[in-house]
Amino acid sequence: MHIHILGICGTFMGGVALLARSAGHTVTGCDANVYPPMSTQLEAEGIALTSGYDAAQMALAPDVYVVGNAISRGNPLLEAILDAGAPYVSGPQWLADHVLRDKWVLGVAGTHGKTTTASLLAWMLEDGGLNPGFLIGGVPKNFGVSARLTDSPFFVIEADEYDTAFCDKRSKFVHYRPRTAILNNLEFDHADIFADLAAIETQFHHLVRIMPASGRIIANAEADALARVIDRGCWSEIEWFNRPEGWQATLDESSVAQFALAGQALGSVATPMAGTHNLSNALAAVAAARHVGVPPAAAIAALGRFEGVRRRLEVRGVVNGVTVYDDFAHHPTAIALTIAGLRKRIQHGRILAILEPRSNTMKLGVMKAQLPESLAGADAVLCYHGGVDWDVPGALSPLGEAVRCFDDVSDLVAAAVAAAEPGDHMLVMSNGGFGGIHEKLLAALA
């Protein structure tokens, strides 16, 4: 089969392309800007890429066009596909039909922690000898790739609640039909497509509705929204974590994590992962791995060999005593947890938080009132607000002299380097490339 993917350089669609290529299909694709690192990863696999959405690509005459959710009506290639009556399908639907159909799918859903938890879970299965396939919205360092296809019956997928495509406004995860599902947490996000938290809860309940009776849901007892989802009806097995009678984990001052189920100790391991949120992620992964036969003690031991995920508190370099980190945090809760996790890890030294409010929700300003509190744990805040229409300096004014705002990345870099002292930690938080700021900071520090 020849598939042509619209929006191929996105993390998810690029992963679909790699899986399709591994399955033996002919894959081509296009994007508004064909850009690395996904473009280089795809080209290395022999996937031909086209920059832009010119209708002339219809001449490729693939068996089906696979349309990413970044593609909207008015896109010239999409309009040509519709006018011609050519076959098309969304990325999640194609994945469900051609990759996941005969797999035991382990889906990881939630507002925060999906990438880290899915990476942990895939690694625990790998370390346990199960050789899972996976599709993750990041690159686990233990694997070095974001997606792979194997002959194992098990497949781990990051189950995103964002909508599927222009033609399907259900959440992506309803297509995956998981047999094991982690519901990590649930808060309001994606204000560009959801009116309120209740709308997202409805989508999560759609996921619960399609779980088989023999399936298992691993849910976070600390999330009131998840309790409301389950109260709407649940027809599968359910295990709660962060609950005394369920799965529990604690982290001591030496970063040794101890795990228990219903009060029974399961094991402990020293972990380099920072923060209570990552402890919760690991706990959920241990519980899910158990459902497919990985003993908790083995999964806990694998945690000690987990190397982390790129762009999750990833150290990008240390220059003249200043450490520069890259982190994907862009929701106020994730920002606060990331800062707290780094604080616990370093104990000494200042944290200079460098933020780009780039997500669709952030650009709308829906959560601007929550930002000052989420950043309060940092010693200084430097915020880039280019491309944001609302008053970022005004919203962050409760932070007082600790905050400075910039509409030029170069000015921000110069200010950050001028303020830096040996022992400082520059925590860069963005869900985008941020103009290559990490390399600019490291170069300027040198």
pLDDT at 329: 73
Question: Which residue do the tokens 């430097």 mark?
Answer: 382
CA dist list (Å): 326 to 121, 163, 253, 431? 22, 27, 25, 10
Would you state the pLDDT for residue 101? 92
Cβ–Cβ under 8 Å, residues 243 and 262: no
Q: Which domains does the chain have, with CATH numbers?
A: 2-93 (3.40.50.720), 102-303 (3.40.1190.10), 314-445 (3.90.190.20)
* The pair of three-digit structure tokens given for residue 417, joined into one six-digit string: 């380097």
Give the DSSP letter of residue 98. Answer: I
Phi, psi of 108 (to 5 degrees): -115, 110
- Report pLDDT for 221: 96
Looking up tokens 């696999």, which residue turns up?
45
pLDDT of 11: 84
Contact between residue 29 and residue 49 where contact means Cβ atoms under 8 Å apart: yes
The per-residue pLDDT for 338 is 85
**The pTM is what?**
0.82
Note the residue count of the chain: 446
Side chain identity at residue 379, one-letter code: D
> Alpha carbon of 147 to those of 1, 120, 247, 391: distances in Å?
20, 14, 29, 39
The type of residue at 163 is D
Within 13 Å, how many C-alpha atoms sit on residue 78's CB side? 20
Give pLDDT, residue 390.
83
Please count the other Cβ atoms lying within 10 Å of the Cβ belonging to residue 168: 17
Round to whole Å and give the CA distance between 410 and 439. 12
Strands (E), 233-283: 237-241, 247-251, 256-261, 264-270
Please list the pLDDT of the chain residue by residue as tens digits (446 residues).
999 999 998 889 999 999 999 999 999 999 997 766 677 888 888 899 999 999 999 999 999 999 999 999 999 999 999 999 999 999 999 999 999 999 999 999 998 889 999 999 999 999 999 999 999 988 898 998 889 999 999 999 999 988 999 999 999 999 999 999 999 989 877 777 788 899 999 999 999 999 999 999 999 999 999 999 999 999 999 999 999 999 999 988 777 999 999 999 999 998 867 677 789 999 999 999 999 999 999 999 999 999 878 777 788 899 999 999 988 777 888 888 889 888 878 878 999 999 888 777 676 777 788 888 989 999 999 999 887 888 888 889 998 988 899 988 999 999 999 999 999 999 998 877 787 888 999 998 98
Question: Given this model, what pLDDT does residue 344 score?
Answer: 79
